């Protein structure tokens, strides 16, 4: 593990921010623990691990859980460490695109910023929707009603968006407190889930089954689990479980202007949130997998993709325990989507501060609590709009939800890849910060991080089911993975916008120190 960098004299937070060209506008009331807490809350192993569990088990079976999670987590840790070095050098809200602008010029910053913002809005929407789904499952388990209704879930989704927007508008200090509580809710909640899944079920899968059993529920390759496509395509479809769960850790960057000692604490917040989430998430996933029910000794993997973890909880534990575990997860997801909206609004505030978004003056405005209220509301409204396709589904499954999760992963990680690559390109010329350095390890860490992002991003844009492939006779638009359409479409729009207009007025970050509206110099 690379060590904190001690050679450079750390600057005062406001002096460091002024050096980057910005005056202190947001309230710097967050502790280092609070900074770690928001990334840990957004990663939320009680959210991502459980909401996309069906995607993992359906695309590979237990081996997709027991082996893919630790392997992909290790790659994500490398990504996180490269970003820790970047935030230590340049701790500012919207830092992802600021880094790209500083290291690669306005064009790099423009594309990075928009990818990051789109990814953040999509992840907020996807988490809020999964939260609505889990509350609906909880109420069903409690016997309030039966049967899944996509329109009812969407109504819950809208209520949740209104609620988390209200919480975000009220107070930055309250948000910090809620994220601190969220950490302990996740820790205690995960431990309780693991304990219940170990001790309550009467039967468990064997170690052999958990670590060697394969299953192909994707519909591709005739259900084969031995073909080359199973290893090179089907299992990678399940990577969304890990890549989607362990995302959003850039919140430590976006909240750096509100964090004390940000050059060090924000850097630690990134890699620590990834490390602890990877370990805790793996234990939770193994506990769920060991508890998969069996009928006449045969594990019921095929029942899980549609029913998700609710099927495992209900069948292995009964309605009483299942209801409790689903409620714990639902509440955790409420913490998670609240933190997601916080991170998104700060990114939107920072990007608007530099005049990159239409209506920038409105989105960069803060209220008396020094909170970007308009950015909060705008992000929530757009999140609701892009999730409208989830009102339709196949067999009651909102395939659009998985598309939104893919968009969030692609947007966020692709935005990370640009400054990570540019830092590698700068080599020894890079101005290392006072809080964290990867030393000469950046020479291999940064390329590895970029390659992983590209490979997984491509996999998440492929049709995940035969009905979503245009060349198949069973093709249905409701089953289409529209992630590639959104991703490619956005890139085309951004390219046209840049060439036709943006290159003439977007010059990179704008200095706000002493009200100077001049671009921050780029190298």
| High-pLDDT (> 70) share of the chain, % | 93
CA distances from 274 to 28, 44, 101, 280, 356 (A): 24, 10, 26, 10, 30
At residue 443, the pLDDT reads 96
**Which of 277-281, 388-392, 434-438 is predicted with the least confidence, judged by mean pLDDT?**
388-392
Q: Are 90 and 78 within 8 A, CB to CB? A: no
Q: Is the pLDDT of residue 362 over 50?
A: yes
| High-pLDDT (> 90) share of the chain, % | 55
d(CA 51, CA 336): 13
Q: Is the pLDDT of residue 101 over 60?
A: yes
Environment class of 305 (CB within 10 Å of its CB; exposed 0-12, middle 13-18, buried 19+): buried
**Mean pLDDT of all residues belonging to the chain:** 88
At residue 267, the pLDDT reads 94
At residue 400, the pLDDT reads 61
Report helix angle 319-353 to 373-386, nearest 10. Answer: 120
At residue 402, the pLDDT reads 64
At residue 518, the pLDDT reads 47
CA distances from 426 to 267, 419, 422, 429 (A): 20, 10, 6, 6
At residue 425, the pLDDT reads 95
DSSP 280-337: HHHHHHHHHHHT--EETTEE-GGGHHHHHHHHHHHHHH-HHHHHHHHHHHHHHHHHHH
Environment class of 372 (CB within 10 Å of its CB; exposed 0-12, middle 13-18, buried 19+): buried
Q: In the chain, what is the greatest distance between 2 CA atoms, to the nearest angstrom?
A: 74
CATH topology of domain 31-504: Amino acid/polyamine transporter I (1.20.1740)
Render pLDDT for 503-516 as a digit per residue (tens, 0 to 9).
999 988 887 776 54
Confidence tier at 144 by pLDDT (50, 70, 90): very high
Q: Is the pLDDT of residue 30 over 90?
A: no
CA 342 to chain centre: 13
At residue 7, the pLDDT reads 42
In the chain, domain spans: 31-504
pTM: 0.89
Render pLDDT for 467-491 as a digit per residue (tens, 0 to 9).
888 888 888 876 777 778 888 888 8
Q: Is the pLDDT of residue 240 over 80?
A: yes
Residue 484: count of CB within 10 angstroms of its CB: 19
Report helix angle 95-104 to 399-426, nearest 10. Answer: 40
At residue 405, the pLDDT reads 77
Q: Is the pLDDT of residue 256 over 70?
A: yes
Residue 191 vs residue 350, higher pLDDT: 191
**Residue 408: what are its φ and ψ, rounded to 5°?**
-65, -45
pLDDT average, residue stretch 161-186: 85
Q: Is the pLDDT of residue 397 over 70?
A: no
At residue 34, the pLDDT reads 87
Q: Is the pLDDT of residue 342 over 60?
A: yes
Q: Are 180 and 336 within 8 A, CB to CB? A: no
At residue 9, the pLDDT reads 52
d(CA 141, CA 133): 12
Residue 369: count of CB within 10 angstroms of its CB: 13
């Amino acid at each position: 593990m690379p060590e904190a960098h001690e050679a450079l004299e750390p600057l005062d937070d406001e002096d460091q921010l002024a050096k980057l060209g910005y005056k202190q506008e947001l309230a710097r009331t967050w502790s280092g623990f609070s900074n770690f807490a928001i990334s840990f809350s957004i990663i939320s192993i009680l959210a991502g691990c459980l909401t996309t569990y069906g995607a993992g088990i359906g695309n590979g079976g237990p081996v997709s859980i027991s082996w893919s999670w630790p392997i992909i987590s290790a790659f994500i840790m490398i990504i996180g460490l490269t970003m820790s070095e970047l935030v230590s050098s340049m701790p500012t809200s919207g830092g992802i695109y600021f880094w790209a602008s500083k290291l690669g010029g306005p064009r790099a910053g423009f594309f990075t910023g928009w990818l990051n913002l789109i990814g953040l809005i999509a992840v907020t929407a996807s988490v809020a929707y999964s939260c609505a789904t889990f509350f609906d499952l909880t109420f069903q388990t409690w016997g309030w009603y039966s049967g899944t209704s996509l329109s009812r879930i969407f109504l819950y989704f809208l209520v949740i968006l209104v609620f988390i927007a209200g919480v975000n508008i009220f107070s930055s200090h309250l948000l910090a407190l809620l994220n601190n509580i969220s950490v302990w809710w996740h820790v205690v909640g995960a431990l309780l889930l693991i304990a219940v899944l170990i001790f309550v079920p009467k039967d468990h899968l064997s170690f052999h089954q958990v670590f060697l059993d394969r299953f192909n529920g994707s519909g591709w390759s005739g259900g084969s689990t031995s073909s080359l496509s199973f290893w090179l395509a089907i299992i990678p479809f399940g990577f969304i479980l890990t890549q989607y769960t362990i995302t959003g850790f850039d919140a430590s960057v976006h909240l750096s202007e509100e964090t004390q000692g940000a050059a060090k604490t924000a850097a630690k917040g990134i890699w620590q949130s990834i490390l602890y989430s990877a370990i805790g998430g793996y234990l939770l996933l193994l506990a769920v997998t060991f508890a998969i029910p069996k009928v006449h000794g045969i594990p019921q993997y095929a029942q899980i993709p549609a029913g998700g973890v609710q099927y495992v909880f209900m069948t292995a534990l009964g309605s009483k325990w299942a209801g409790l575990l689903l409620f714990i997860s639902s509440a955790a997801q409420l913490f998670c989507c609240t933190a997601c909206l916080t991170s998104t609004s700060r990114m939107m505030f920072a990007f608007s501060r530099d005049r990159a978004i239409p209506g920038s003056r409105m989105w960069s405005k803060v209220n008396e609590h020094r909170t970007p209220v308009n950015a909060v509301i705008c992000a929530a409204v757009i999140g609701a709009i892009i999730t409208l396709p989830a009102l339709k589904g196949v067999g009651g499954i909102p395939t659009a939800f998985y598309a939104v999760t893919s968009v969030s992963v692609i947007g966020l990680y692709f935005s990370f890849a640009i400054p990570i690559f540019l830092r590698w390109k700068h080599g020894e010329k890079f101005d290392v910060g006072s809080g964290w350095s990867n030393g000469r390890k950046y020479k291999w860490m940064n390329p590895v991080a970029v390659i992983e992002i590209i490979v997984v991003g491509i996999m998440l844009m492929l049709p995940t089911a035969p009905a979503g492939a245009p060349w198949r006779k069973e093709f249905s638009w409701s089953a289409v993975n529209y992630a590639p359409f959104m991703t490619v479409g956005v890139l085309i729009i951004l390219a046209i916008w840049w060439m036709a207009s943006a290159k003439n007025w977007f010059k990179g970050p704008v200095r706000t120190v002493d009200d100077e509206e001049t671009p921050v110099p780029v190298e």
